[in-house]
């Protein structure tokens, strides 16, 4: 049987995201303290906690689209920082890609990463190389679509997504920020990992681990 991703799986994924990001809160605030305003860990923790709660509050007949839209609304309402609208748009794009159904073939799951990355880029207008979360989401999405086009198994695609995300976050150290709050630091942003890129790589690592595991089942 072809593995699927169900609404139960998505609810569980968001619980995992909320707990992983909560555990990383102080680290993310520390990174943001160096080149931003030190609130990124709090924003992400509150956002993912609210997103997960919003999903868990849905009736059992809710669709995948309902879940991602509820996550978007929950995240946006909980977060005043710039990551709020960026992730809310990502989740709304995922809602559209997932559709009004209660499960999707796991082979379509990498497409949700592509949709989220597109949402972040269309909302924030950042390109790669500007030292933002796009430096993680864009290469991860590129590997997700390439792996799908090459007909790879989901767990192999997720392995590549994870590698691209880790490398993307690390690469932000060598970049000068030109978007967002840290852009005002100019050259002084060099040498430091972008907090939004760091959290994006954690988010993608959780997603990749979860979907790889479902592929192996």
Alpha carbon separation from 40 to 5, 82, 180, 201 (Å, rounded):
30, 9, 12, 14
For position 164 contacting ligand ADP by CB under 6 A, the verdict is no
Among 8, 23, 37, 56, binds ligand ADP (CB under 6 A): 37
Alpha-carbon 156 to chain mean position: 19
Pick the stretch among 19-27, 141-149, 178-186, 206-214 that binds ligand ADP (CB under 6 A).
178-186
Dihedral of alpha carbons 28, 33, 37, 39, sign: positive
10 Å Cβ neighbour count for 130?
A: 19
Among 5, 9, 32, 141, binds Mg ion (CB under 5 A): 32
For position 93 contacting ligand ADP by CB under 6 A, the verdict is no
Query: Shortest Cβ distance from residue 172 to ligand ADP (Å)?
Result: 8
Among 3, 5, 28, 39, binds Mg ion (CB under 5 A): 39
Which has the closest alpha carbon to 50: 71, 80, 19, 26? 71
| Residue number of the CB atom closest to ligand ADP | 196
For position 124 contacting ligand ADP by CB under 6 A, the verdict is yes
Among 10, 14, 17, 32, binds ligand ADP (CB under 6 A): 32
Three-class SS string for 8-54? HHHHHHHHHHHHHHHHCHHHHHHHHHHHCCCCHHHHHHHHHHHHHHH
Q: Which residues bind ligand ADP (CB under 6 A)?
A: 32, 36-37, 39-40, 43, 81-83, 86, 120, 124-126, 132-134, 179-181, 194-197
């Amino acid at each position: 049987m072809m593995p699927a991703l169900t609404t139960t799986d998505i609810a569980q994924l968001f619980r995992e995201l909320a707990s992983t990001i909560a555990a990383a809160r102080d680290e993310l605030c520390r990174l943001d303290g160096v080149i931003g305003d030190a609130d990124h860990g709090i924003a992400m923790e509150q956002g993912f906690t609210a997103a997960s709660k919003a999903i868990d509050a849905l009736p059992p007949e809710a669709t995948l689209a309902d879940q991602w839209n509820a996550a978007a609304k929950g995240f946006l309402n909980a977060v005043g920082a710039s990551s709020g609208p960026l992730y809310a748009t990502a989740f709304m794009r995922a809602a559209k890609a997932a559709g009004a159904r209660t499960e999707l073939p796991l082979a379509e799951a990498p497409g949700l990463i592509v949709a989220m990355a597109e949402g972040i880029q269309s909302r924030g207008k950042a390109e790669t190389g500007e030292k933002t979360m796009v430096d993680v989401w864009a290469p991860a999405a590129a590997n997700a679509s390439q792996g799908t086009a090459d007909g790879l198994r989901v767990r192999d695609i997720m392995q590549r997504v994870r590698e691209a995300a880790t490398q993307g976050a690390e690469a932000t150290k060598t970049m000068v920020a030109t978007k967002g709050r840290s852009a005002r630091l100019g050259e002084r942003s060099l040498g430091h990992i972008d907090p939004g890129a760091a959290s994006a790589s954690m988010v993608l690592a959780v997603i990749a681990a979860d979907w790889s595991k479902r592929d192996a089942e």
